[in-house]
Amino acid sequence: MADNIDRDVAAPATPVPPPRRKNWLVRILAVLVLGPALVLGLWLAIALNYSYSVGDRAGYIQKFSHKGWLCKTWEGELAMSPIPGSAPEIFPFSVRDDAVARELQDAMGKRVAITYNEHRGIPTTCFGETNYFVSNVRVMDDGNQPLPPAPPVAPPTTATTPSTTPR
């Protein structure tokens, strides 16, 4: 009987595994936080890297400022007037590049042509308040140049008409 007691004491006890913690709450929180952050990041990357349209506009820079509380952006307005003396159409735009912003500041008061890219669906105004982002600026003639000479006009021809004098 002594042999049985020694064997029971000497036999290694099977280790009891620690109780499993329930990680389901951590997983749900990770999905609820990381999921929308990934979707927003993907949406933002697509909206900023692919342009909906590209175009040019010409006019005079009416307003240009660096504004915003947290996200400072360059915002401006281009006054386009098809006929001198008519009410101008205002084209709002944003600028992301500081070098382009400096060119626009230097061109204030001059007629300019701007090239813009339209990015639709940008989820926040931290990148610009408008959908139109200026990528290039060209200063045009100021319009004070003398007009080229008009083409020569042939003198009017006089047709011989019978005289209608009373008798």
Q: What is the pLDDT of residue 14?
A: 77
- What structural domains does the chain harbor? 52-139 (2.40.50.140)
Summarize pLDDT for 91-126 with one digit per residue, the tens.
999 998 999 999 999 999 899 999 999 988 887 788
For residue 147, what pLDDT is reported? 43
| Lowest-pLDDT range of 49-53, 62-66, 90-94 | 49-53
Q: Using 50, 70 and 90 to split pLDDT, how confident is the model at 24?
A: confident
Handedness of CA 43, 49, 50, 51 (dihedral sign): positive
Q: Which two tokens stand for residue 30?
A: 């990770």
Torsion angle defined by CA atoms of residues 125, 130, 132 and 135, in that order, rounded to the nearest 10 degrees: -50
Q: What is the DSSP letter of 107?
A: T
Mean pLDDT of 127-146: 80
Q: What is the mean pLDDT of residues 7-22?
A: 65
Q: Is the pLDDT of residue 146 over 60?
A: no
Quote the pTM value.
0.61
